Amino acid sequence: MNGTALGSTATVTATARAGAEAERARLDAQRVERPRADMPRAATVSAPAGSASWQSRRGQIEAYFDRTAADTWARLTSGAPVGRIRRTVRAGRDAMRAQLLAWLPMDLAGRRVLDAGCGTGMLAIEAARRGAEVVAVDLAPTLVELGRDRMPTDVREAIEWRAGDFLDPALGTFDHVVAMDSLIHYRLQDVLPALAGLAERTRGSVVFTFAPSNWLLATMHAVGQWFPQGHRSPSIEPVAPEKLRAVLASDPRFAGFAVGRTERVVNGFYTSQAQELVRL
């Protein structure tokens, strides 16, 4: 038997198999994992009124994340390969998630945490792994179902998934609220009452992100706000960090809170700034 010939046949077969597997993985990664029929849908919470501009923007955000960009978002928040630009966004988002979680107590046992605008729940899962009881809520039922479907078994009991508005008081009260990149599409005049509503229901801290205005044009806008042409997201509303901190410090609705740490994360095409509000 010719070892070389056998070797080359085996190589061709292995190469073909690897190619087929890669293609299958590519197709799998592209597919939005729809909820399994055997799982009940996540409970929905209602949408509190808010201003007309909040309501109108919320409608656009829901349509965008629930339908237009659901596939893109599913892929970005998975381990599936993505292009160069989105790799920088994914790494930036990983860094931001780590930053926000680092501001919470390391041991979250017995603490209730709200992942406000959870998307597919990456932060919720990490908080649950540190012992928190998490409520993960998002306007986009498709992402909530995907998060619930992907949820590892070790946190199954610790996360309650909800579809709806994170401002709904029916969600209850919390020790910590985290809103990662879920307020960036609202105007400051709507973000402040939203933060005040969240703060009212929070015993410990509210940590959230915003788009710092001085970086916006150079980064997010340059890539169609993280996604390519044709997938344009509702516009991002930039805020000057100094202005935001000054407004928070002087607004009586936050009198019971200190305007805490702030940290900007810049990684390639991802730029976002974290802000902490800590109950006094």
Ligand X SMILES: C[S@@+](CC[C@H](N)C(=O)[O-])C[C@H]1O[C@@H](n2cnc3c(N)ncnc32)[C@H](O)[C@@H]1O
Least distance from C-beta 110 to ligand X, angstroms? 23
Q: Are 194 and 167 in contact (CB under 8 A)?
A: yes
Among 42, 65, 90, 176, binds ligand X (CB under 6 A): 65
Least distance from C-beta 15 to ligand X, angstroms? 36
Binding status of residue 140 toward ligand X by CB under 6 A: yes
Q: Which stretch binds ligand X (CB under 6 A): 10-18, 28-36, 137-145, 217-225?
A: 137-145
Extract the tokens encoding 225.
């706000």
Binding status of residue 133 toward ligand X by CB under 6 A: no
Q: Where are the beta strands (DSSP E) in the chain?
A: 43-44, 112-116, 133-138, 159-163, 174-179, 202-212, 238-239, 257-267, 270-279
Least distance from C-beta 122 to ligand X, angstroms? 5
Choose between 76 and 259: whose C-beta lies nearer to ligand X.
Answer: 76
Binding status of residue 145 toward ligand X by CB under 6 A: no
Least distance from C-beta 18 to ligand X, angstroms? 31
Among 74, 104, 127, 180, binds ligand X (CB under 6 A): 180
Least distance from C-beta 166 to ligand X, angstroms? 4
Q: C-alpha angle with apex 158: 120 to 198, nearest 5 degrees?
A: 65
Distance CA 104, CA 47 (A): 27
Least distance from C-beta 226 to ligand X, angstroms? 8
Choose between 22 and 49: whose C-beta lies nearer to ligand X.
Answer: 49
Helix residue spans in 82-140 (DSSP H): 84-102, 122-129
Q: How many residues bind ligand X (CB under 6 A)?
A: 20
Q: Report helix, strand or coil for 122.
A: helix
Q: Which stretch binds ligand X (CB under 6 A): 133-141, 216-224, 243-251, 271-279?
A: 133-141
Binding status of residue 89 toward ligand X by CB under 6 A: no
Distance CA 122, CA 154 (A): 14
Phi/psi at 127 (5° precision): -65, -40
Among 128, 132, 143, 146, binds ligand X (CB under 6 A): 143
List Cα–Cα distances, 68 to 30, 140, 143, 198, 231, in angstroms.
14, 11, 12, 28, 7
Structure letter (DSSP) for residue 83: -
Q: Are 267 and 97 in contact (CB under 8 A)?
A: no
Biggest CA pair distance of the chain = 86
Among 137, 151, 211, 259, binds ligand X (CB under 6 A): 137
Interface residues toward ligand X, by CB under 6 A: 58, 61, 65, 77, 93, 117-119, 122, 137-140, 143, 165-167, 180-182
